[in-house]
């Protein structure tokens, strides 16, 4: 995970070319070792500005309309070491030390991960700023929080703060007096909901899975298990354990394998592996409780694909994503033939007409398969052959069945 740092890369991330220099001048690599996670080694402490929540801040050095002037130091560290952060993801700390910028201590999580993390640690995720303001606003909530902290703790003159954030002194005054960018109040109803949630959800305790190697084989990161457990909402051992993070169109939980875009795993399958070990080839993990978002391993059983299809049919459900069940008995094609058609076409040497002759179906049927219109499969990616038009059917005769 080594990111090449070029001025173009920095500019694309909204940072000036001198950002790395400014970043490194404010890092102390001999920070403390966290008592709860000594294996992580020392934190890299941020010695510069901090925001109200305790995260390090660094000036971006480029002004963009509607974007804040300052970046969170741990996010900058991720961008410098690991690469861009895709939309909607947060940089979270394994070490729980918000001033830490050691890339080894960081991982990417969703807002929901963070919400659950707050809940698990007994913090109230509802107390926070109201939504971001209009797109043309010069400041972001992070900036405003920083202005308030700087104004309160560092006793800088208003003119200096105004200069730092490229705003007027009046604006600084209004922010410091809570006249603009007012803090949101949490309504009593929201508070009640939060408290009842906190009461209902059992504290989630987990010991490392004895089947961690099965996860590692799939390419899951070290943080996988802890991320898995932080996304579960359960009221008791026997109830459904509901997945609180991302779900697919069918309502099944989805979890990323690792910190850097390495693909997803279905949460209920992950649960099965954590509790029971690897899933044998060709087997499906099925729900007894008929709740796709449930990841309680006691609510699942291992079935074959036909059993899965029968189960789906019994529940009157068709898969929106993933291969449809085998088709009618008189279908000319099967899933294996469809896969063959797609792979031959994707090699780019064969057109639709020769394929239609080879498999004894119409050209229209081939076209629909190639475009994932019939025999739909979410994992299939069509590759457009980049051949000169005349060359495309060159090898056609090789595929025509000899009669």
CA 257 to the chain's CA centroid: 9
Cα–Cα distances (Å) from 164 to 150, 171, 243, 288, in that order, read: 11, 13, 43, 59
Pick the closer one to Zn ion by CB: 105 or 145: 105
Who's near 394: CB < 8 A, 6+ residues apart? 349
Q: How far is the CB of 41 from Zn ion (least distance, A)?
A: 8
Pick the closer one to Zn ion by CB: 97 or 309: 97
Within the chain, how many helices (H) and strands (E) appear? Answer: 16, 12
Q: How far is the CB of 357 from Zn ion (least distance, A)?
A: 49
Reported for 382-390, long-range contacts at CB under 8 A and 24+ positions apart, including other chains, are 382/342, 382/345, 382/346, 383/346, 383/348, 385/345, 385/346, 385/348, 385/349, 386/348, 387/348, 387/349
Q: How many CB atoms lie within 10 A of CB 306?
A: 11
**CA angle, 340 then 264 then 379, to 5°:** 20
Pick the closer one to Zn ion by CB: 55 or 165: 55
The DSSP code sequence of 370-381 is HTTSSS--TT--
Q: How far is the CB of 3 from Zn ion (least distance, A)?
A: 19
Q: How far is the CB of 70 from Zn ion (least distance, A)?
A: 21
Pick the closer one to Zn ion by CB: 95 or 366: 95
Q: How far is the CB of 287 from Zn ion (least distance, A)?
A: 6
Pick the closer one to Zn ion by CB: 286 or 353: 286
Q: How far is the CB of 279 from Zn ion (least distance, A)?
A: 18
Pick the closer one to Zn ion by CB: 168 or 235: 235
Cα–Cα distance, 44 to 76 (Å, whole number): 13
Q: How far is the CB of 171 from Zn ion (least distance, A)?
A: 35
Pick the closer one to Zn ion by CB: 38 or 388: 38
Nearest residue to 226 via CA among 88, 117, 308, 129: 117
Q: How far is the CB of 84 from Zn ion (least distance, A)?
A: 22
Pick the closer one to Zn ion by CB: 94 or 148: 94
Q: How far is the CB of 102 from Zn ion (least distance, A)?
A: 5
Stretch (H or E) spanning 92? strand 89-93
Pick the closer one to Zn ion by CB: 301 or 367: 301
Per DSSP bridges, beta strands 254-256 and 242-243 are unpaired
Q: How far is the CB of 395 from Zn ion (least distance, A)?
A: 52
Nearest residue to 52 via CA among 166, 158, 148: 148
Look at residue 320 and give its three-state secondary structure.
coil
- What is the SS3 string spanning 13-79? CCCCCCHHHHHHCCEECCCCCCCCCHHHCCCCEECCCECCCCCEEEECCCCCCCCCCEEEHHHHHHH
Q: How far is the CB of 116 from Zn ion (least distance, A)?
A: 19
Cα–Cα distance, 268 to 242 (Å, whole number): 10
Pick the closer one to Zn ion by CB: 64 or 235: 235
Do the beta carbons of residue 289 and residue 296 sit within 8 Å?
yes
Residues in touch with Zn ion (CB under 5 A): 43, 95, 97, 100, 102, 105, 240, 289, 291, 294, 296, 299
Look at residue 313 and give its three-state secondary structure.
helix
């Amino acid at each position: 995970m080594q990111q090449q740092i070029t001025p173009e890369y920095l500019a694309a991330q909204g940072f000036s070319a001198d950002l790395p220099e400014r970043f490194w001048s404010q890092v102390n690599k001999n920070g403390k070792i966290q008592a709860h996670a000594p294996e992580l080694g020392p934190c890299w402490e941020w010695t510069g500005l901090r925001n109200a929540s305790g995260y390090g801040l660094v000036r971006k050095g480029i002004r963009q309309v509607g974007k804040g002037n300052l970046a969170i130091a741990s996010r900058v560290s991720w961008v410098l070491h690991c690469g861009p952060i895709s939309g909607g993801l947060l940089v979270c700390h394994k070490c729980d030390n918000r001033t830490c910028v050691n890339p080894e201590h960081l991982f990417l999580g969703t807002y929901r991960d963070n919400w659950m993390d707050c809940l698990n640690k007994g913090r109230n995720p509802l107390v926070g700023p109201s939504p971001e303001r209009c797109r043309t606003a010069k400041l972001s909530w992070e900036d405003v929080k920083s202005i308030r902290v700087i104004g309160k703790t560092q006793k800088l003159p208003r003119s200096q703060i105004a200069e730092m954030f490229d705003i007027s002194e009046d604006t600084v005054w209004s922010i410091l007096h809570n006249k603009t960018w007012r803090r949101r109040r949490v309504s009593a109803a929201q508070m009640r909901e939060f408290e009842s949630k906190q009461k209902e959800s059992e504290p989630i305790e987990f010991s490392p899975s004895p089947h961690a190697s099965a996860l590692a084989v799939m390419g899951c990161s070290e943080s996988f298990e802890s991320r898995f457990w932080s996304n579960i909402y359960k009221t008791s051992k026997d109830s459904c354990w509901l997945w609180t993070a991302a779900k697919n169109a069918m309502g099944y939980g989805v979890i990323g394998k690792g910190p850097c875009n390495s693909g997803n795993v279905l949460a209920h399958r992950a649960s099965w592996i954590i509790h029971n070990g690897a899933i044998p080839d060709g087997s499906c993990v099925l729900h007894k409780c008929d709740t796709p978002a449930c990841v309680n391993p006691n609510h699942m059983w291992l079935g074959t694909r036909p059993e899965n299809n029968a189960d789906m049919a019994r529940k009157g459900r068709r898969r929106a994503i993933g291969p449809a069940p085998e088709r009618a008995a008189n279908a000319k094609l099967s899933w294996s033939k469809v896969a063959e058609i797609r792979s031959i076409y994707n090699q780019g040497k064969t057109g639709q007409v020769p394929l239609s002759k080879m498999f004894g179906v119409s050209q229209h049927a081939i076209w629909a398969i190639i475009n994932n219109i019939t025999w739909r499969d979410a994992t299939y990616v069509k590759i457009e052959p980049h051949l000169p038009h005349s060359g495309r059917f060159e090898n056609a005769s090789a595929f025509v069945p000899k009669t």
